[in-house]
Protein backbone atom coordinates (compact mmCIF):
# COMPACT_ATOMS: atom_id res chain seq x y z
CA UNK A 1 0.00 0.00 0.00
CA UNK A 2 1.36 3.45 -0.92
CA UNK A 3 2.21 6.05 1.73
CA UNK A 4 -0.70 8.16 0.41
CA UNK A 5 -3.11 5.28 0.97
CA UNK A 6 -1.82 4.64 4.48
CA UNK A 7 -2.02 8.38 5.24
CA UNK A 8 -5.64 8.33 4.10
CA UNK A 9 -6.39 5.31 6.31
CA UNK A 10 -4.81 7.11 9.28
CA UNK A 11 -6.81 10.32 8.64
CA UNK A 12 -10.06 8.36 8.41
CA UNK A 13 -9.12 6.44 11.60
CA UNK A 14 -9.19 3.06 9.90
CA UNK A 15 -5.68 2.85 11.34
CA UNK A 16 -5.67 4.36 14.81
CA UNK A 17 -3.92 4.37 18.19
CA UNK A 18 -0.59 6.15 18.53
CA UNK A 19 1.71 3.13 18.29
CA UNK A 20 -0.13 1.49 15.41
CA UNK A 21 -0.11 4.75 13.45
CA UNK A 22 3.67 4.93 13.86
CA UNK A 23 4.26 1.29 12.89
CA UNK A 24 2.04 1.51 9.81
CA UNK A 25 3.70 4.76 8.73
CA UNK A 26 7.16 3.18 9.04
CA UNK A 27 6.08 0.18 6.98
CA UNK A 28 4.44 2.46 4.39
CA UNK A 29 7.76 4.26 3.89
CA UNK A 30 9.48 0.91 3.43
CA UNK A 31 6.88 -0.02 0.78
CA UNK A 32 7.30 3.37 -0.86
CA UNK A 33 11.05 2.83 -1.13
CA UNK A 34 10.65 -0.69 -2.46
CA UNK A 35 8.01 0.26 -5.01
CA UNK A 36 10.67 2.18 -6.96
CA UNK A 37 13.11 -0.26 -8.53
CA UNK A 38 15.17 2.32 -10.46
CA UNK A 39 18.69 3.42 -9.62
CA UNK A 40 18.19 7.19 -9.45
CA UNK A 41 18.91 8.00 -5.79
CA UNK A 42 17.43 11.50 -5.98
CA UNK A 43 14.21 10.23 -7.55
CA UNK A 44 13.92 7.56 -4.86
CA UNK A 45 14.66 10.04 -2.10
CA UNK A 46 12.05 12.50 -3.30
CA UNK A 47 9.39 9.78 -3.62
CA UNK A 48 10.00 8.59 -0.06
CA UNK A 49 10.08 12.16 1.25
CA UNK A 50 6.76 12.91 -0.46
CA UNK A 51 5.33 9.85 1.28
CA UNK A 52 6.75 11.06 4.57
CA UNK A 53 5.06 14.44 4.16
CA UNK A 54 1.68 12.84 3.44
CA UNK A 55 2.01 10.58 6.47
CA UNK A 56 3.04 13.40 8.79
CA UNK A 57 0.05 15.46 7.65
CA UNK A 58 -2.41 12.63 8.30
CA UNK A 59 -2.92 13.25 12.05
CA UNK A 60 -1.30 16.07 13.98
CA UNK A 61 -1.20 15.06 17.64
CA UNK A 62 0.61 11.74 18.19
CA UNK A 63 4.37 12.34 18.32
CA UNK A 64 4.83 8.59 17.84
CA UNK A 65 4.11 9.19 14.16
CA UNK A 66 6.87 11.79 13.87
CA UNK A 67 9.32 9.74 15.95
CA UNK A 68 8.60 6.63 13.88
CA UNK A 69 9.12 8.49 10.62
CA UNK A 70 12.34 10.10 11.92
CA UNK A 71 13.58 6.64 12.85
CA UNK A 72 13.05 5.38 9.30
CA UNK A 73 15.21 8.19 7.91
CA UNK A 74 18.08 7.54 10.32
CA UNK A 75 21.43 7.48 8.47
CA UNK A 76 19.75 7.62 5.05
CA UNK A 77 21.74 10.77 4.21
CA UNK A 78 24.85 8.56 4.12
CA UNK A 79 23.49 6.39 1.29
CA UNK A 80 25.31 6.93 -2.03
CA UNK A 81 23.24 4.55 -4.17
CA UNK A 82 19.53 3.92 -4.49
CA UNK A 83 20.05 0.35 -3.27
CA UNK A 84 21.80 1.55 -0.13
CA UNK A 85 19.02 4.07 0.54
CA UNK A 86 16.29 1.47 -0.03
CA UNK A 87 18.03 -1.03 2.25
CA UNK A 88 18.48 1.55 5.00
CA UNK A 89 14.83 2.63 4.91
CA UNK A 90 13.66 -1.02 4.98
CA UNK A 91 16.03 -1.97 7.76
CA UNK A 92 15.06 1.04 9.89
CA UNK A 93 11.33 0.46 9.36
CA UNK A 94 11.64 -3.20 10.39
CA UNK A 95 13.76 -2.30 13.38
CA UNK A 96 11.24 0.33 14.51
CA UNK A 97 8.38 -2.16 14.32
CA UNK A 98 10.39 -4.77 16.21
CA UNK A 99 11.44 -2.31 18.90
CA UNK A 100 7.89 -1.10 19.30
CA UNK A 101 6.55 -4.64 19.73
CA UNK A 102 9.28 -5.49 22.24
CA UNK A 103 8.52 -2.28 24.14
CA UNK A 104 4.88 -3.28 24.43
CA UNK A 105 5.83 -6.65 25.94
CA UNK A 106 8.15 -5.01 28.50
CA UNK A 107 5.53 -2.40 29.41
CA UNK A 108 3.06 -5.24 29.97
CA UNK A 109 5.46 -7.03 32.29
CA UNK A 110 6.43 -3.94 34.32
CA UNK A 111 2.97 -2.44 34.48
CA UNK A 112 1.43 -5.74 35.61
CA UNK A 113 3.18 -5.24 38.97
CA UNK A 114 0.84 -2.31 39.55
CA UNK A 115 -2.27 -4.47 39.42
CA UNK A 116 -3.25 -6.45 42.51
CA UNK A 117 -5.65 -9.33 42.90
CA UNK A 118 -9.19 -8.05 43.33
CA UNK A 119 -8.48 -4.59 41.85
CA UNK A 120 -11.02 -2.54 39.95
CA UNK A 121 -9.23 -0.79 37.11
CA UNK A 122 -10.54 1.95 34.86
CA UNK A 123 -9.28 2.60 31.34
CA UNK A 124 -10.20 5.26 28.80
CA UNK A 125 -10.35 4.94 25.00
CA UNK A 126 -8.42 2.03 23.45
CA UNK A 127 -4.73 1.86 24.25
CA UNK A 128 -2.75 -1.22 23.28
CA UNK A 129 -0.14 -0.29 25.89
CA UNK A 130 -2.71 -0.16 28.71
CA UNK A 131 -4.26 -3.40 27.46
CA UNK A 132 -0.80 -5.05 27.37
CA UNK A 133 -0.48 -4.31 31.10
CA UNK A 134 -3.89 -5.79 31.90
CA UNK A 135 -3.19 -8.81 29.68
CA UNK A 136 0.15 -9.50 31.42
CA UNK A 137 -1.39 -9.20 34.90
CA UNK A 138 -4.21 -11.55 33.92
CA UNK A 139 -1.71 -14.04 32.51
CA UNK A 140 0.17 -13.93 35.84
CA UNK A 141 -3.02 -15.24 37.42
CA UNK A 142 -4.21 -11.99 39.00
CA UNK A 143 -7.96 -11.62 38.98
CA UNK A 144 -9.41 -8.13 38.63
CA UNK A 145 -12.13 -6.30 36.73
CA UNK A 146 -12.02 -3.39 34.33
CA UNK A 147 -14.28 -0.42 33.72
CA UNK A 148 -13.98 0.84 30.14
CA UNK A 149 -15.27 4.27 29.18
CA UNK A 150 -17.29 4.55 26.01
CA UNK A 151 -14.98 7.32 24.69
CA UNK A 152 -17.24 9.54 22.65
CA UNK A 153 -17.49 10.30 19.82
CA UNK A 154 -15.66 7.37 18.18
CA UNK A 155 -16.56 4.86 20.91
CA UNK A 156 -13.16 3.22 21.09
CA UNK A 157 -14.38 1.77 24.41
CA UNK A 158 -16.22 -0.84 22.35
CA UNK A 159 -12.85 -1.99 20.97
CA UNK A 160 -11.42 -2.11 24.49
CA UNK A 161 -14.37 -4.12 25.79
CA UNK A 162 -13.89 -6.58 22.95
CA UNK A 163 -10.09 -6.80 23.41
CA UNK A 164 -10.43 -7.45 27.14
CA UNK A 165 -13.29 -9.92 26.72
CA UNK A 166 -11.20 -11.92 24.27
CA UNK A 167 -8.57 -12.23 27.00
CA UNK A 168 -11.23 -13.38 29.46
CA UNK A 169 -10.97 -10.20 31.58
CA UNK A 170 -14.33 -9.08 33.07
CA UNK A 171 -15.22 -5.66 31.74
CA UNK A 172 -18.00 -3.16 32.43
CA UNK A 173 -18.62 -0.36 29.96
CA UNK A 174 -19.63 3.06 31.27
CA UNK A 175 -20.44 6.31 29.51
CA UNK A 176 -17.74 8.97 29.83
CA UNK A 177 -19.79 11.11 32.17
CA UNK A 178 -20.09 8.21 34.69
CA UNK A 179 -16.37 8.33 35.50
CA UNK A 180 -16.61 10.39 38.69
CA UNK A 181 -19.59 8.37 39.88
CA UNK A 182 -17.62 5.09 39.77
CA UNK A 183 -14.22 6.49 40.76
CA UNK A 184 -14.74 6.12 44.52
CA UNK A 185 -14.92 2.34 44.06
CA UNK A 186 -11.80 2.01 41.88
CA UNK A 187 -8.19 1.09 42.71
CA UNK A 188 -6.27 2.14 39.61
CA UNK A 189 -6.58 4.06 36.35
CA UNK A 190 -4.53 2.89 33.36
CA UNK A 191 -4.44 4.93 30.16
CA UNK A 192 -2.20 5.26 27.11
CA UNK A 193 -0.61 8.33 25.56
CA UNK A 194 -0.29 9.96 22.16
CA UNK A 195 2.41 12.39 23.24
CA UNK A 196 4.31 13.10 26.44
CA UNK A 197 5.77 16.59 26.68
CA UNK A 198 9.11 17.48 28.26
CA UNK A 199 7.31 18.83 31.37
CA UNK A 200 5.62 15.45 31.92
CA UNK A 201 2.17 16.42 30.62
CA UNK A 202 0.40 13.56 28.87
CA UNK A 203 -1.66 14.14 25.76
CA UNK A 204 -4.23 11.41 25.24
CA UNK A 205 -7.84 10.91 24.12
CA UNK A 206 -10.19 13.75 25.00
CA UNK A 207 -11.58 13.20 28.48
CA UNK A 208 -8.35 11.76 29.89
CA UNK A 209 -7.71 14.91 31.92
CA UNK A 210 -11.21 14.72 33.43
CA UNK A 211 -10.56 11.11 34.38
CA UNK A 212 -7.26 12.21 35.98
CA UNK A 213 -8.99 14.99 37.89
CA UNK A 214 -11.59 12.58 39.27
CA UNK A 215 -8.84 10.06 40.15
CA UNK A 216 -6.83 12.77 41.91
CA UNK A 217 -9.84 13.82 43.96
CA UNK A 218 -10.55 10.20 44.96
CA UNK A 219 -6.83 9.42 45.52
CA UNK A 220 -6.86 6.68 42.92
CA UNK A 221 -3.43 6.20 41.28
CA UNK A 222 -3.45 7.42 37.68
CA UNK A 223 -0.91 5.49 35.61
CA UNK A 224 0.07 6.10 32.00
CA UNK A 225 1.42 3.26 29.83
CA UNK A 226 3.59 4.52 26.98
CA UNK A 227 6.56 3.50 24.87
CA UNK A 228 9.48 5.96 24.86
CA UNK A 229 8.64 6.92 21.28
CA UNK A 230 5.54 8.67 22.66
CA UNK A 231 7.84 11.24 24.31
CA UNK A 232 8.24 14.40 22.29
CA UNK A 233 11.72 15.79 21.52
CA UNK A 234 9.98 18.72 19.82
CA UNK A 235 8.57 19.95 23.14
CA UNK A 236 12.16 20.47 24.33
CA UNK A 237 12.33 23.24 21.76
CA UNK A 238 9.24 24.79 23.32
CA UNK A 239 6.91 23.58 20.61
CA UNK A 240 3.31 23.18 21.78
CA UNK A 241 1.50 19.94 21.02
CA UNK A 242 -1.17 20.46 18.39
CA UNK A 243 -4.53 19.16 19.55
CA UNK A 244 -6.44 17.66 16.63
CA UNK A 245 -9.96 18.93 15.98
CA UNK A 246 -12.18 16.71 13.89
CA UNK A 247 -15.39 17.19 11.96
CA UNK A 248 -18.63 18.30 13.63
CA UNK A 249 -20.47 15.36 12.06
CA UNK A 250 -18.63 13.04 14.46
CA UNK A 251 -20.59 14.72 17.29
CA UNK A 252 -23.98 15.59 15.75
CA UNK A 253 -25.53 14.20 12.59
CA UNK A 254 -26.22 16.49 9.64
CA UNK A 255 -29.46 18.45 10.31
CA UNK A 256 -29.69 17.40 13.97
CA UNK A 257 -29.09 20.95 15.21
CA UNK A 258 -29.72 24.30 13.46
CA UNK A 259 -26.84 25.47 11.24
CA UNK A 260 -25.98 28.40 13.57
CA UNK A 261 -24.99 25.96 16.32
CA UNK A 262 -21.24 25.62 16.49
CA UNK A 263 -19.72 22.25 17.29
CA UNK A 264 -16.27 22.02 18.81
CA UNK A 265 -14.68 18.57 18.55
CA UNK A 266 -11.16 18.44 20.03
CA UNK A 267 -10.09 14.80 20.17
CA UNK A 268 -7.19 14.93 22.63
CA UNK A 269 -6.40 16.81 25.83
CA UNK A 270 -3.42 17.37 28.13
CA UNK A 271 -3.22 15.96 31.64
CA UNK A 272 -0.77 17.92 33.78
CA UNK A 273 2.00 15.97 35.56
CA UNK A 274 0.65 16.70 39.04
CA UNK A 275 -2.27 14.32 38.37
CA UNK A 276 -0.05 11.52 37.10
CA UNK A 277 1.22 8.91 39.55
CA UNK A 278 3.63 7.18 37.18
CA UNK A 279 4.41 6.38 33.57
CA UNK A 280 5.16 2.78 32.63
CA UNK A 281 7.71 2.70 29.80
CA UNK A 282 9.93 -0.06 28.41
CA UNK A 283 12.87 1.47 30.31
CA UNK A 284 11.10 1.41 33.66
CA UNK A 285 8.28 2.94 35.68
CA UNK A 286 9.07 6.64 35.97
CA UNK A 287 7.53 9.78 37.47
CA UNK A 288 6.13 12.20 34.86
CA UNK A 289 8.84 14.67 35.89
CA UNK A 290 11.47 12.35 34.37
CA UNK A 291 10.11 13.03 30.87
CA UNK A 292 12.93 15.44 30.04
CA UNK A 293 15.60 12.85 30.90
CA UNK A 294 13.81 10.18 28.84
CA UNK A 295 13.76 12.47 25.83
CA UNK A 296 17.46 13.27 26.12
CA UNK A 297 18.57 9.72 26.91
CA UNK A 298 16.31 7.68 24.64
CA UNK A 299 15.51 10.04 21.83
CA UNK A 300 18.01 12.85 22.14
CA UNK A 301 21.00 11.48 20.33
CA UNK A 302 19.02 9.93 17.53
CA UNK A 303 16.31 12.50 17.17
CA UNK A 304 17.72 15.80 18.24
CA UNK A 305 21.44 16.07 17.76
CA UNK A 306 21.88 13.81 14.73
CA UNK A 307 18.69 14.61 12.85
CA UNK A 308 18.90 13.46 9.24
Catalytic positions are: 125, 194
Alpha carbon separation from 66 to 44, 85, 194, 265, 274 (Å, rounded):
20, 20, 11, 23, 26
| Part in contact with ligand RUB (CB under 6 A); list of ranges 17-25, 166-174, 179-187, 284-292 | 17-25
265 contacts: CB under 8 Å, gap ≥ 6 = 153, 245, 246, 247, 248, 250, 251
Under the criterion CB under 6 A, does residue 86 sit at the interface with ligand RUB? no
Give me the sheet containing 120-123, strands edge to edge: 171-174, 145-149, 120-123, 188-191, 222-225, 278-281, 284-286
Q: Among residue numbers 166 through 205, which ones bind ligand RUB (CB under 6 A)?
A: 192-194, 204-205
CB of 193 to ligand RUB, least distance (A): 6
Q: Considering beta carbons, is residue 65 or 82 the nearer one to ligand RUB? A: 65
88 contacts: CB under 8 Å, gap ≥ 6 = 74, 75, 76, 78, 79
Q: Considering beta carbons, is residue 195 or 198 the nearer one to ligand RUB? A: 195
Under the criterion CB under 6 A, does residue 17 sit at the interface with ligand RUB? yes
Alpha-carbon torsion, ordered 114, 115, 121, 122, to 10 deg: 30
Residue closest to 182 by CA, chosen among 116, 224, 120, 275: 120
Q: Considering beta carbons, is residue 192 or 200 the nearer one to ligand RUB? A: 192
Q: Are strands 222-225 and 278-281 parallel, antiparallel or unpaired?
A: parallel
Helix (H), strand (E) at residue 215 = helix 208-217
Under the criterion CB under 6 A, does residue 45 sit at the interface with ligand RUB? no
The residue nearest ligand RUB at its CB is 192
Q: Considering beta carbons, is residue 156 or 281 the nearer one to ligand RUB? A: 156
Among 6, 19, 54, 236, which residue sits at the site for ligand RUB (rule: CB under 6 A)?
Answer: 19
Q: Considering beta carbons, is residue 156 or 209 the nearer one to ligand RUB? A: 156
User: Where are the alpha helices (H) located in 113-178, listed in sequence order?
Assistant: 128-139, 156-166
Residue closest to 199 by CA, chosen among 94, 266, 276, 301: 276
CB of 141 to ligand RUB, least distance (A): 24
CA 47 to chain centroid, in Å, comes to 27
Binding mask 203-222 for ligand RUB (x = CB under 6 A): -xx-----------------
Under the criterion CB under 6 A, does residue 149 sit at the interface with ligand RUB? no
Q: Considering beta carbons, is residue 194 or 277 the nearer one to ligand RUB? A: 194
Under the criterion CB under 6 A, does residue 16 sit at the interface with ligand RUB? yes
Q: Among residue numbers 93 through 132, which ones bind ligand RUB (CB under 6 A)?
A: 125, 127-129
Judged by the rule CB under 6 A, the positions of this chain that interact with ligand RUB are 16-19, 125, 127-129, 154, 156, 192-194, 204-205, 267
Amino acid sequence: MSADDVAERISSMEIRGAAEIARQAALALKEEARSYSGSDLEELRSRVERGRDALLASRPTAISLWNGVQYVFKDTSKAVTADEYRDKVSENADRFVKRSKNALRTIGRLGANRIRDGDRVLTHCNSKAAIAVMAAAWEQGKRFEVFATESRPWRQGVLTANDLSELGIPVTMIIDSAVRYVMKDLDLVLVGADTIASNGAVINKIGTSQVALAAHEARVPFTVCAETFKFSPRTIYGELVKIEERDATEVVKEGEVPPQVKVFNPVFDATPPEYIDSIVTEIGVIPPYAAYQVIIKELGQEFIFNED
